[in-house]
Structure 1
């Protein structure tokens, strides 16, 4: 059963240091992975998380570790991430819920089937094990209703992990390597002197440092505005359901044009209906907002999220007032998800939902993240805007950011992830998996 941090006791109790080499803002998959690889290299790194590690989208995502369907710019990084996940499952000594059972895209129409050709060419270029499946071959892999799918595309080397296990597990491993992880500690501001980072101000005090990574997920745009940077984020919300333990109809991950399903370690399935993947509202984009913080507060109010006063007095910021983004899924979500699942798997038509939740996904105009130094400010770096597919690529992104902040050579072409690429771009809504 998924239990989110809004109701979970604190798990990381490190004290805020007076000084650190690198400070990471955000305890999601990107920030934690970055801290892990920095700590492996003996760097003094501190993670400040305003709520709890993996309290938001990093524990609410679908759990896919997929190479299939990736943008060409992301694919080389995701191939590395696939290998890193396998290594992490061994070297951390933690149960990350990592399993390599493949991922399938299933075609309900001839148009969808022909649409697989472009990725097959890309897969061949990168020597992936992706292949097409006939309708009969799909049913050998997935025990669905005959005639439902015309065929599919599968990448057997793709995998999954349990998000609510994996990110805290990597965090514990980073901690054992020397990383400091401080929960319930919002960063309020970054000190910049002569265009260089000199420290951060948190609700628990000041930390001296000369390098900072902003990996705040949905909060990055609001935080960046405070230091004069414009990140053109917009937001979408995705309701996800977990079912009770049920018959195994597929051990891997799969999706068609309507629904996604993934077998979980507890014997149930994580499910979502793609029609529920929608923009939060007409205010879901903060790109053109004159005051991003107020626009974000208005957006949270639409979702029924009210500020909660902390015990830190009158200086509290938006980051302390909204510790965890825990939006309620629409009431119809569970019914719609189960209807679609039952249509495909009549033998599981009586399956019941054990939990239903939603997450806020931050999106950038081209559906690709920023992984870069922030403009001309020496020591300030950004890794954000992973647009709903950051979990799987997280370890490699963390490795990239750790090397970048240490001035090491880039191992991938990162030109598509530069902060400078946004010049009046218009946010868009990405297609899910």
Structure 2
């Protein structure tokens, strides 16, 4: 089952030519399109299914600087500045609130493990701090269980995933951009060795530049264009509860659970410590690239063999522009959530606070998260294909940093001074001998 997502209707006709075509209408794609439009460029935002239909509406809804990889900190800080003014930017409420986020600690050792992050927090003036059990209980009345303290960041926030991408897309369309839904891009159009547009299932659109913000689909699309993008998928699973009275406003992660209060008074609940990884053919193709991450994160990954192995084995990897593509056969990725992890998470959630004891499940869903070998996104031009840009591999951080990523990508495409240093996000780091660094972020 997928979450309810606000509608964002698309146009019926394709424009013959635009300055930029953006593929994918999740949080990164819609943000890129809006910022490009605000630079005065003509833009087509093209989505194979519905706006925000995949991971951009299926995530936890956290917008956090706390615990970020040090390379992402400038980007999340820019994103939080955008989130704080997002309602004015798009003309409607996307649910952003500075609620603060806690990482609860059972032991003193867990508290001490956050020391490296506190140094980053101080360097970047984020304001994270360790708090004692009494302050934990003051922030979250009704909290149950033994706790040694928590890492607390008051400046972090939350937003509504089901609202955000559609609201940005509607604002983009209202400002003269062309939004196309249920329209798969089959291939890049090439002339004289550079990108000259896209070929969609409904026809061609000429463009000076093309941005791929395809989430979990990006590796498949790039492979057909001759670009080997090292990216795998991780399954995230979420439960939505019915509204709960007198629950805490803060978001938190504890032992086996994490939660975020929604605008309707219910909560989104997930497992705070583990994610599910289906072993697929790409797991073997990319084994060497992802080995450092596997070693570093093995305790937080639940590896399994499922029907997805055969599904991806049977998925065609090359096609021509006049053939039906995998993007048309599966418009929206809607995987089954991991029931075992959700049971563990929901039990721990209900035991964690008196207000949650009688929580009732409303619905649940799964989402496929696009991950890179170093868990840092690619926001970059592709040198081998002039005019082609990629924004993907957000590794579970995409909702929070999506607006900043969109602004950075718009700067790169337009040739303007980038809002943050783009070097950490360059595609070339996977090809130029740069060691794969797994940061101490979490």
Q: How many residues align?
A: 418
Aligned partner of 2:152 in structure 1 is 154
Q: 1:218 aligns with which of 216, 219, 225?
A: 216
1:306–1:355 CA distance, 2 compared to 1 (3 A):
farther
Aligned to 2:402: 394
Which of 369, 382, 386 aligns to 1:361? It is 369
Q: Which moved more, 1:203-212 or 1:405-414?
A: 405-414
Q: Structure 1, residues 49-77: CA drift from partner, whole Å, max 9, x if none?
A: 01111000000000001011111110011
* 1:214–1:220 Cα contact (<8 Å) kept: yes
User: What's the counterpart of residue 386 of structure 2?
Assistant: 378
**TM-score when normalising by structure 1:** 0.90
**Number of the residue aligned with 1:28:** 26
Residue matched to 2:258: 260
Mapped to 1, the partners of 2:381 and 2:171 lie a distance apart of: 26
Q: Which residue of 1 aligns with 2:283?
A: 285
Q: 1:323 to 1:346 in 2, by over 3 A?
A: same
Match of residue 108 from structure 1: 106
Specify every segment of 5 or more residues in structure 1 that has no aligned partner in the other structure, as ranges: 290-297, 308-313
Deviations 1:325-368 (A, max 9, x none): 00011333442222111221244222111010000011100000
Range that drifts further, 126-135 or 21-30:
126-135
Q: What is the CA distance between 1:379 and its match in structure 2?
A: 0.8
Distance 1:39 1:110 in 2: 50
SS of residue paired to 1:200: strand
Alignment-derived partner of residue 119 in structure 1: 117
In the aligned structure 2, how far is the partner of 1:284 from the partner of 1:300? 11
Q: Is contact 1:2–1:164 with CA below 8 Å preserved after alignment? A: no
1:23–1:48: 8 Å Cα contact kept in structure 2?
yes
Query: Match for 2:42 among 22, 41, 44?
Result: 44
Q: Which moved more, 1:104-113 or 1:261-270?
A: 104-113
Residue pairs, 1:167-316, within 5 angstroms: 167-274=165-272, 276-281=274-279, 283=281, 285=283, 287-288=285-286, 300=308, 315-316=323-324
Q: What is the match of residue 423 of structure 2? A: 415
Unaligned runs of 5+ in 2: 288-305, 316-321
User: Is this contact kept in 2: 1:24–1:35, CA < 8 A?
Assistant: yes
Q: Look up the SS of the partner of 1:47 in the other structure.
A: strand
Quote the Cα distance in structure 2 between the aligned partners of 1:48 and 1:24: 6
Which whole-Å CA distance do the structure 2 matches of 1:430 and 1:57 have between them? 23
More deviation in 356-365 or 249-258?
249-258
Note the 1:3-22 alignment, pairs <5 A.
3-4=3-4, 11-22=9-20
User: 2: CA distance between counterparts of 1:188 and 1:216?
Assistant: 12
User: Aligned residue for 2:303?
Assistant: none
Shift in alpha-carbon separation, 1:428–1:305, aligned structure 2, 3 A: farther
Q: Distance in 1 between matches of 2:237 and 2:313?
A: 16
Select the residue among 334, 342, 347 that pairs with 1:339.
Answer: 347
DSSP-derived class of the 1:411 partner: coil
